[in-house]
Amino acid sequence: MKNIVVACASNSCRSQITEAFLRYFGKGQLNVYSAGTTKSEVNPFAIEVMKEIGINMAAHTSKAIDELPQIKWDIALTVCDPVQEACPYIPAKEHLHHAFFDPVLTEGTDDEIRDSFRKVRDEIKVFCSELTEKLIAK
């Protein structure tokens, strides 16, 4: 089983969604955690848009990188540019980076913000589906 950590700035949205999708597509074959350079709380819009497609993130909690278990990481994946630059070094066999837009930055009505979260969710879903296929095939 591969140990994967997904890092983002505040562990409130993109890293949480990525963790959920990697677990979903990994079907128990991946050990996945997410964390941030700081912790906040999981964004309610992230929970809502994942629930729309049948993935429950209600029990997810935000964590800081220094709260992660001390295990040997196979993959450290960063999902935003600021964390790639500011993140403390996470020892892992492989480091990957794929930046996604931060939907928290979206201004407008709740519906417009929700749509932004859906767009990012769908982009992360495609990325995680493809990544999981590669990881399980290795």
Residues tagged active-site = 8, 80, 87
Residue pointed to by tokens 């996470």: 90
* Residue showing tokens 């029990």: 59
Q: Amino acid identity of 37? A: T
What contacts 108, CB < 8 A, 6 or more positions away? none
Q: What's the token pair of residue 42?
A: 């999981």
